[in-house]
Amino acid sequence: MSPHPTALAPVVLVVEDDDILRMLAVDILVDEGFTVLEAPTADAAWLILKSRSDIGVLFTDINMPGQMDGLTLAARVAERWPHIRLVVTSGRRGFSNDDMPDDGQFVLKPYRQSQLVSAIGHAG
């Protein structure tokens, strides 16, 4: 898939506890033509994932409040819904694509618009 979505672009679920960062990521992806859902925690994202069958990409922060963090969420998604592609972000160095479940992508914060769009486009 090209970095720019088409009519067949996957629905992206953005999971970020920082309201401003979540809003920014959602705005970037919507402006690029993606259909976007959002959740403030991994726990809330899990409920959305269980209720929808059209999600194609999970974009999640690692460090969040609640019962599970973003890496746990990504691992559970990879196990239960292997068709959902994974993009994980964090401001902490030390992670790479190799550390992500199910061949997921890692994007270091602060990320640029082009980095986010490229990671989502390649994941989908």
103: left (phi over 0), alpha (psi -120 to 50) or beta: left
Residue 1 has a pLDDT of: 39
Exposed/middle/buried for residue 47 (C-beta within 10 Å: 0-12, 13-18, 19+): exposed
- In the prediction, which pLDDT does 124 show? 66
pLDDT of residue 10: 86
At residue 120, the pLDDT reads 93
The neighbouring-strand residues paired with 85 are 57
0.85 surpassed by pTM: yes
Could you give the domains of the chain?
Answer: 11-123 (3.40.50.2300)
Q: Which residues of the chain have pLDDT under 50?
A: 1-3, 5-6
pLDDT of residue 7: 55
